[in-house]
Amino acid sequence: MKELRRLSDAELADQLRGAREELFDAKFKFATRQLKNYRGMRATRQKIARLLTVSREREREARG
C-alpha cells in the first residue's frame, strides 16, 4: 500500500487501467479454458481493490 500511495494520480490511473485489462484477459482465457492457473485472478482483483482504495482516499482528502 505504501508504494501505491507514492504514485501520482496519473500513474495510479495507469496502474488501474493495466490491472483491469489483465483481469479481463485472465477471465477471457479462463472462459476459453486457456488459463491453467486461475489463482492470479484473485491477486489481480485484490490489486484493483487496493488501487481503488487509494484513489478514493485521495478524493476524500480533496473534498475536505
pLDDT in tens, 13-49: 999 999 999 999 999 999 999 988 888 999 999 999 9
The pLDDT of residue 51 is: 97
Domain count, the chain: 1
- Residue 20's domain comprises 2-63
Handedness of CA 32, 34, 39, 44 (dihedral sign): negative
Question: Can you give the CATH number for the domain in which 48 is found?
Answer: 1.10.287
Nearest to 42 by CA among 53, 54, 30, 32: 30
